[in-house]
Amino acid sequence: MMRATLLAGLSVLAFAAPAAAEAQHGAHQDVQLAAPPTPEKMEPMDHDGHREPAPPTSDPDCAPEHAAMGHCTPKSAEPAPPPADDPDCPPEHAAMGHCTPKPAPGAAPSAEPSGATGTDLPAGDAPAPASPGDWYADRLYPKAEMDHARHAMMLENGGQATGFISFNLAEYQARKGRDGFRWDGEGWYGGDINRLTVKSEGEAVFGEGVESAELQFLYSRAIGPYFNAQAGLRQDLGPGPDRTYATVGFEGLAPYWFEVEGSLFLSDKGDVLARLEGYYDQRITQKLILQPMAEFNFALQDVPESGIGSGLSDVELGLRLRYEVVKEFAPYVGVEWARKIGDAARFARADGDDADSVSLVVGVKTWF
């Protein structure tokens, strides 16, 4: 009997212990849930006892809802920039990044760089930032030696002098009874702005020698991205009278890709001549190119010993079809018509020559 009573008592104790522990845990949990939030986690209250929303934050690492629950603390917002004194850059435009206000006269430069460089800078007409001067190599090598190396690098990468030689025309001309050849080329040496240019052109007849030739020494200066102004001397060669000319002119790429060139000549005898020429490269394929060309020569007065008449003295029109084997070498075939006008035609007939001629041409255009 006593054994049965003891077993019953142990059973009651076994079931009662877990229940008591669970009840104690639930009471403790209720206490924790009911505990008021700590002061740093409380949201501010208005006068009516309603919670006010947490202020917005611009910190991407601390969202407003996380800041309201006390999970993070947003970084303090940067102070608004002072109003700009630049009338060309109002504050509202500067705030949108449309311009950068100029610093006030006498104001000290900002000690902290913005970090934006190159194309990251906002659009506007602000002056360009200063070039960096803290060369890392100066920490390891003498500054004078590195300055010399940087100067050499700038000359070799943007300020270097280069040379160029081209023959736009180097051709055999087949015409009635007087086959000959013709050349037209130039070379230059210098940089992107200033160059020394040498030009030469002329024509000859087989069995009779050179009919006319000229050589020009010119100083060429870029006056824009597409045009050069030129000035110098021209010397005539060949069987005619020797003439030396002071020369001014231009050459460049006109709109719609027309190559144009113009010159004004004043001889040591007081003769005034002018020349205008141009051509256009019409691509039929990537390698096959049709080139129309025109040249007009003018004179202020007659020069009988040189066969030049006043006004429009002569005209040359040509059409050449070339094939670029490579960019530097392109053979061509074509036709050229030349006509002397006015007194120049009269001088040509007096010498037994025709006033006009048609030539079939075969030649090569090359450069290097």
Domain ranges of the chain: 162-367
Q: Which of 85, 131, 128 is nearest to 107 (CA)?
A: 85
Residue 168 has pLDDT above 90, yes or no: yes
For 325-342, how does the pLDDT look when each residue is reduced to its tens digit (9 = 90+)?
999 999 999 999 999 999
Q: Match domain 162-367 to its CATH number in 2.40.160.160, 3.30.499.10, 3.40.190.10, 3.40.630.30.
A: 2.40.160.160
pLDDT above 70 (res 320) = yes
pLDDT exceeds cutoff 50 at 20: no
Prediction pTM value: 0.61
pLDDT given for residue 25 in this prediction: 46
Is residue 254 predicted with pLDDT exceeding 50? yes
Region 245-264 average pLDDT? 97
pLDDT band at 56; cut points 50, 70, 90: low
Is there a contact between 341 and 313 (Cβ–Cβ < 8 Å)? yes
Q: Is residue 266 pLDDT above 80, yes or no?
A: yes
Strands (E), 255-328: 258-267, 272-280, 282-283, 288-299, 311-323
d(CA 99, CA 24): 69
| Range from 1-15, 98-112, 224-238 that averages highest in pLDDT | 224-238
Q: Is 104 exposed, middle or buried (0-12, 13-18, 19+ CB in 10 A)?
A: exposed
Q: Which residue has 């010397």 as its token pair? A: 235
The span from the CA of 215 to the CA of 220, in Å, is 15
Average pLDDT over residues 236-243: 86
